[in-house]
Amino acid sequence: MVNANMQHCAALRIDHVMGILRLWWCPPDKTADYGVYVNYPLKDLLGIIKLESQRQQCLIFGEDLGTVPPEIEAALPPAHCYSNEVVLFSRVEDHFLAPEQYKTRALTCISNHDIPTLRAWWNCSDLDLRQSLGIYDAARTAQEKLARHEDKLALLNTLQHIGEAPYGVNPSDLSSMGYSRELMEKIHYYLGKTASQIIVIQLEDVLELDTPVNVPGTSSEYRNWSRKLTRNISEILTSEENRVLFKNLGLTRKA
């Protein structure tokens, strides 16, 4: 399987890479608390991945988000596997990680398919959506919105520190903290300044979409994986404002 996939790409992302060490198995028709971890042959599986990576000259990205066992943390770097960093998960108290604090051998992004788009995250529309789907009640939604506000303040602190604060945004004035194209671009320049060797941008964020492609924990409640982009690739790449964003992002990476 690894060999077949690597023949068609120069880089392969392994979702939930902890699965080469262990997986939580649940009996049929039982809830997750009836499950148990089943260990897998980590050295054998990692050896196969390393061998095929060398044969096919294919980079490996291990999606190591969430609860990461120490065995995985110890095994991936010597295997030259790239880690996965997410900006929106990188808050430390009243700020986010400084660009130089991100892992070097990593693929870093602002968000991904399991996280709200940047616009939705900033406007808290993902929290309203969760309430409308019955995942959160009103009290939980209000609590999450307070926590999100603290996240936004921490992110603004970081942008200010690296010289990328959006013009006119004053954390003491809520009316100035609305979402904007400039805010989106500044956060991407922060991404561009990280020490990670590879960064990824979401087309949804470039298009400033606010609806998610996937809401974890739902099936029939939400039409996952059916939302389409509002513009095609050629339109995205020829847009003048996007061309400026991509050019500046490239210059930021070279700085």
Are 202 and 96 contained in the same domain?
Answer: yes
pLDDT digits (tens, 9 = 90+) for 38-78: 999 999 999 999 999 999 999 999 999 988 999 999 999 99
- Considering the domain architecture, whether residues 34 and 100 belong to the same structural domain is answered as no
Model confidence at 140: pLDDT above 80 = yes
Asked if 109 and 190 sit in the same domain, the reply is yes
Query: Do 102 and 81 contact (CB within 8 A), yes or no?
Result: no
**pLDDT tens track for 67-110:** 899 999 999 999 999 999 999 999 999 999 999 999 999 999 99
> Which of these, 189, 158, 156, 184, lies nearest to 171 by C-alpha position?
156
Phi, psi of 96 (to 5 degrees): -100, 165
- Contact criterion met (CB below 8 Å) for 97 and 116: no
Is the residue at 47 inside a domain? yes
- Choose among 209, 237, 195: nearest CA to 97: 195
Residue 196 and residue 109 share a domain? yes
Structure tokens at 47: 């050896």
CA distances from 26 to 15, 17, 219 (A): 20, 19, 19
Tokens of 255: 């700085």
> 34 and 160: one domain?
no
Angle at CA 66, nearest 5°, toward 63 and 67? 115
27 and 149 fall within a common domain:
no
Q: Which amino acid is at 57?
A: Q
- Cα 98 off chain centre by: 17
Tell which of 60, 91, 111 closes a domain. 60
In a domain, 74, yes or no: no
Does pLDDT of 254 surpass 90? no
Q: How many domains does the chain have?
A: 2
Backbone angles phi, psi at 11, to 5 degrees: -150, 140
Portion of the chain with pLDDT greater than 70, in percent: 100
Measured in residues, the chain has a length of: 255
218 assigned to some structural domain: yes
Q: Residues 155, 239: contact at Cβ < 8 Å?
A: no
State how far the Cα of 162 lies from the Cα of 158, in Å rounded to an integer: 6
Confidence bin at 255 (pLDDT 50/70/90): confident
Q: Are residues 131 and 237 in the same domain?
A: yes
Judgement on whether residues 18 and 130 belong to the same structural domain of the protein: no
One domain, residues 34 and 101: no
pLDDT tens digit sequence for 227-252: 999 999 999 999 999 999 999 999 99
Q: Write down the pLDDT at residue 177.
A: 93
| Four-residue CA torsion sign, 120, 122, 125, 126 | positive
Domain that holds residue 44: 1-60
Reported as a single tens digit per residue, the pLDDT across 149-165 is: 999 999 999 999 999 99
- Tokens for 164, please give them: 């990328």
pLDDT for 67 = 87
Tell me which residue of 105, 107, 5, 104 sits closest to 53, measured CA to CA: 5
Shared domain for 170 and 138, answered yes or no, is yes
Does 235 lie in the same domain as 122? yes
